[in-house]
């Protein structure tokens, strides 16, 4: 029992472990209560393939948001599907021999988060998308599915002029963070979100830093920009310059 109680603190540290433990208590009290930590991320969309051509050729990617049979089979609540249709989001599916391997959803210009009362505005709008609900079908997990889905998505989006993909990560989902690390993503913000029935309190590293919502119609709006990636590029350039021999 002691080892079970101490596990979150060993995994996440004292502060994050405490948040995790509080959340576990809240969700047991009520499904309408929770304490979450969200990281807001950005990753570059490039034309560089994630799979060798021989392996990539076994997969095909296409938008499927109009295929109601496929969308209905996804583990998505009806009200969430309706919200996505209203926002004009699009779903890109990856297939192997005609079978759905997995999918990822995209929002353009802005995205209304369905796990918190946040609306994200993306800049530069014409080059940015928000990706969410990345899902691999159970029978394809543990193989090349993750790379195959992102390989097809990156190629298709890059051809359409998209250069940045923003997303929301549950801080405690270490498996997802590890899977995305090699894609070069960076954090552009973080939020602590306390939900107690109809009330929601957001403490964020971006403005508005404190936001209190008393009903579902009140939402915080956050501007997301790719400065974290640009800082990486500038830092690399500076390091390269510093290594050049002086005349």
Angle at the Cα of 121 (from 115 to 126), degrees rounded to 5?
130
Q: Which residues of 37-58 are buried (b: 16+ CB within 10 A; e: fewer)?
A: bbbbbbbbbeeeebbeeeebee
* pLDDT above 80: residue 5: no
> How many Å separate Cα 92 from the centre of its chain?
15
Q: Residue 2 domain-assigned?
A: no
Predicted confidence (pLDDT) per residue in 183-203, tens digit: 899 999 999 999 999 999 999
Q: Residue 202 domain-assigned?
A: yes
User: Residue 230's pLDDT is what?
Assistant: 73
Contacts (Cβ under 8 Å, ≥6 apart) of 65? 71, 84, 85, 89, 90, 91
User: Residue 242's pLDDT is what?
Assistant: 41
| SS3 state of residue 116 | coil
Q: Residue 76 domain-assigned?
A: yes
For the full predicted model, state whether its pTM sits above 0.85: yes
| SS3 state of residue 146 | helix
| Beta bridge partner(s), residue 186 | 42
Rounded-to-integer distance, Cα 227 and Cα 136, Å: 30
User: Residue 228's pLDDT is what?
Assistant: 85
Q: Residue 243 domain-assigned?
A: no
What is the chain's mean pLDDT, rounded? Answer: 89
Rounded-to-integer distance, Cα 80 and Cα 61, Å: 23
Number of domains the chain contains = 1
CATH code of the domain in which 168 resides: 3.40.630.30
Q: Is the dihedral of CA 136, 140, 145, 149 positive or negative?
A: negative
Range of the domain at 43: 8-238
Rounded-to-integer distance, Cα 87 and Cα 119, Å: 11
Rounded-to-integer distance, Cα 173 and Cα 138, Å: 18
User: Residue 1's pLDDT is what?
Assistant: 56
Q: Residue 3 domain-assigned?
A: no
**Long-range contacts of residues 170-173, Cβ cutoff 8 Å, at least 24 apart:** 170/36, 170/37, 170/38, 170/39, 171/16, 171/36, 171/37, 171/38, 171/39, 172/12, 172/16, 172/20, 172/37
> How many Å separate Cα 110 from the centre of its chain?
14
Q: Residue 139 domain-assigned?
A: yes
Predicted confidence (pLDDT) per residue in 98-116, tens digit: 999 999 999 999 999 989 9
Predicted confidence (pLDDT) per residue in 118-165, tens digit: 999 999 999 999 999 999 999 999 889 999 999 999 999 999 999 999
> How many Å separate Cα 159 from the centre of its chain?
21
Q: Residue 147 domain-assigned?
A: yes
């Amino acid at each position: 029992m002691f080892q079970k109680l101490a596990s979150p603190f060993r995994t996440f540290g004292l502060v994050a472990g405490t948040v995790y433990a509080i959340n576990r208590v809240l969700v047991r009290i009520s499904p309408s209560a929770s304490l979450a930590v969200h990281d807001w991320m950005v990753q570059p969309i490039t034309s560089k393939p994630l799979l060798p051509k021989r392996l990539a050729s076994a997969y095909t990617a296409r938008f499927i948001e109009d295929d109601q049979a496929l969308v209905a089979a996804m583990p998505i609540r009806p009200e969430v599907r309706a919200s996505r249709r209203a926002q004009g989001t699009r779903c890109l599916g990856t297939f192997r021999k005609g079978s759905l391997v997995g999918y990822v959803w995209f929002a353009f210009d802005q995205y209304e988060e369905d796990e918190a009362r946040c609306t994200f505005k993306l800049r530069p709008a014409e080059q940015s998308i928000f990706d969410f609900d990345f899902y691999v079908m159970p029978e394809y997990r543990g193989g090349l599915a993750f790379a195959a889905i992102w390989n097809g998505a990156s190629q298709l989006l890059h051809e359409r002029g998209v250069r940045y993909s923003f997303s929301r990560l549950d801080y405690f989902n270490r498996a997802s963070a590890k899977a995305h690390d090699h894609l070069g993503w960076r954090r552009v913000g973080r939020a602590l979100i306390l939900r107690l029935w109809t009330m929601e309190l957001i403490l964020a590293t971006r403005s508005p830093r404190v936001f209190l919502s008393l009903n579902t119609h009140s939402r915080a709006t956050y501007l997301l920009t790719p400065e974290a990636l640009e800082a990486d590029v500038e830092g690399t350039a500076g390091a390269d310059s510093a290594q050049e021999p002086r005349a």
